[in-house]
Amino acid sequence: MPLLVVRRSLATAATAAVLLAGSCAVAEAHVRVTPDTAAPGSYVTLTFKVPTESASASTTKLEVDLPTDHPFGSVSYQPVPGWTTVVTTGKLAKPVTTDDGEITHAPTKLVWTASADAAIKPGQFQTFAISVGPVPDTGKLALPAHQTYSDGSVVNWDQQQTGSQEPEHPSPVLYITDPAPDTSPSAAPTVIATPAATSDTSARWFGVGGIVLGAAGLVAAVWALTRRPRA
């Protein structure tokens, strides 16, 4: 095999391996909230995990919208070094009656803003924790997040999931009386097929393994060609 062909094949295999591995990690690079479940009437600490997806810009601000149709009675936050936090309280369009009485004003938004040194750089993440309660007695609450980058771009994590397919920018959601989606491996549908069939996830990882092994073989071939005595 000509040395140039071997080198081209090796580069193609390496690129394919990187792209495939990257596609498996994209779904994890979202703004998430944990825990994503809570009991009605409880007080709970919610933690937003914010990764920086950009390869060239840092995350400088995070905004989280709080529900106004089923508001939290109180919200407090945990300080984050290098970040300032502002809690906005507004008048509700429609007063809400609770066990503690009628609520006409409630927290509606939190905004975290980073100092220059505290921005979340590419390849990093930061967590932002708040305590909220009492949790309203409702099905679920969307907590849309808005992520601002140092280049001025904004990513809105506010899309609602309507089917089994997660949207590109899903909103963080707190499930209360509605069941939370089961994302455990055991929740995956069972596939009845020939012994050669595997799940899509397994196939991807076997594919990555095959590409890596193939690349290793090409490296060995290159080494052997360069070591072969010339006639």
40/114 Cα distance (integer angstroms)? 33
Residue labelled with tokens 């309280």: 89
Residue pair 176/38 in contact by the 8 Å Cβ criterion:
yes
Residues facing 85 on adjacent strands? 112
* Integer Cα distance of 80 and 151 in angstroms: 22
Q: Encoding tokens for residue 206?
A: 């076997």
What pLDDT, on the 0 to 100 scale, is given for residue 102?
Answer: 81
Instruction: From 148, 165, 202, select the one nearest 24 (Cα to Cα).
Output: 202
Residue 81 φ/ψ region, left for φ over 0, alpha for ψ in the -120 to 50 degree band, beta for the rest: beta
Instruction: Find how far residue 155's CA is from the centre of its chain.
Output: 12
The token pair at 226 is 């360069």
What pLDDT is recorded for position 93? 84
Show Cβ contacts of residue 132 under 8 Å, excluding neighbours closer than 6 positions: 43, 44, 46, 66, 72, 74, 75
Residue 29, pLDDT score: 74
Six-digit token string for 88: 């906005």
Instruction: Identify the pLDDT of residue 226.
Output: 57
Residue spans of the domains in the chain: they are 3-21+190-227, 31-178
Decide if 91 contacts 22 (C-beta within 8 A): no
Taking only the tens of pLDDT, the chain with its 231 residues reads 554 444 554 444 444 444 444 444 444 679 999 999 999 999 999 999 999 999 999 999 999 999 999 999 899 999 999 999 999 999 988 888 777 678 889 999 999 999 989 999 999 999 999 999 999 999 999 999 999 999 999 999 999 988 778 889 999 999 999 998 865 555 544 444 444 444 444 444 445 455 555 555 555 554 555 565 555
* Whether the Cβ atoms of residue 156 and residue 146 lie closer than 8 Å to each other: yes
Cα–Cα distance for residue pair 193/166, rounded to 1 Å: 26
pLDDT, position 58: 98
* β-strand pairing of 173-175 with 140-142: antiparallel
CB-CB contact of 155 with 107 (8 Å) = no
Residue 170, strand partner residues? 159
CATH number 2.60.40.2230 is the correct assignment for the domain at 31-178: yes
